Structure 1
Amino acid sequence: MAQVEITINSKNYRIACEDGQESRIASLAAMVDSHVKDLVEQIGQIGDTRLLVMASLLIADELVDLREIEREVSSEGGAAVPGDGEEKIVSALNAMAGRIESIADQLERA
């Protein structure tokens, strides 16, 4: 079993993973770190646990939105109109940005 060192919110973590998966884990950690950095910029350092929970919720929200888009595109028999799937992705990303801003506002008031 391999191990990889990742950095999230300027803190190092050693993570065990299957051999050959080190670069994937590092890439996933970079994605999480990016979300945490965005949150820190918006609301400041509110504690590692809260930041990681919020980042996890944002990532889960993105995943659900992408699954819904995939389901819609699949039910239409593929991309019925060129660019139609792209418009849905842009719309989903805009909706996510609005939710992120809403969460940030709520945390600032907390």
Structure 2
Amino acid sequence: MAQVTVTIGGRAYRMACDDGQEDHLTRLGTEVDARIDQLRAAFGEIGDQRLSVMAAITLADELSEVRRRLGEAERNASAEREARDEAARQLGRVEASLASTVVSAAERLEQLARELGPSPSGGVGMG
């Protein structure tokens, strides 16, 4: 287990994290610290605890919005997949119908050719 020190609101906090996650935890700490600095600039010195709670709430609000957008994107992607799958099924039906029509036409042409018999010149082409 790795250890990282992050500074938030001018205070250092020693935190444990999984090995390899040190940079990630440091970036998160920097983001929280920046958010607290933004709130402090907007509201002044209203107390560290209140600033921390406000920062947590604004970050949670952003996370909630991202989750909402992700859910919407997933629903849209699912609807697009369903539409694509239905279009593929419809294309398959059209191809099968077309193939059947071509086979029927070929069979009719063969039947007509048999009924007409061989050509008078004995060959197939026109000459």
**Do they fold alike, i.e. is TM over 0.5?**
yes
Number of corresponding residues: 79
Percent identity of paired positions between Structure 1 and Structure 2: 42
Tell me the equivalent position of 1:25. 25
CA–CA separation in structure 1 for the residues paired with 2:31 and 2:21: 16
Is 1:59 the counterpart of 2:96 in the alignment?
Answer: no
Q: CA deviation at 1:33?
A: 0.8
CA–CA separation in structure 1 for the residues paired with 2:45 and 2:17: 29
Question: What's the secondary structure of 1:57's corresponding residue?
Answer: helix
Q: Deviation digits for residues 56-102 of structure 1, max 9, x if unmatched?
A: 11111000101111111221227x8xxxxxxxxxxxxxxxxxxxxxx
Question: What's the secondary structure of 1:53's corresponding residue?
Answer: helix
CA–CA separation in structure 1 for the residues paired with 2:47 and 2:37: 12
Structure 2 unmatched runs, 5+ = 81-127
Superposition pairs of residues 1-110 of structure 1, within 5 angstroms: 1-77=1-77
- State the TM-score, normalized to the length of structure 2: 0.58
Q: Deviation digits for residues 18-43 of structure 1, max 9, x if unmatched?
A: 22211111010011111101100000
Q: Looking at both structures, which has the greater relative contact order when contacts are Cα pairs under 8 Å and sequence separation is at least 6? A: 1
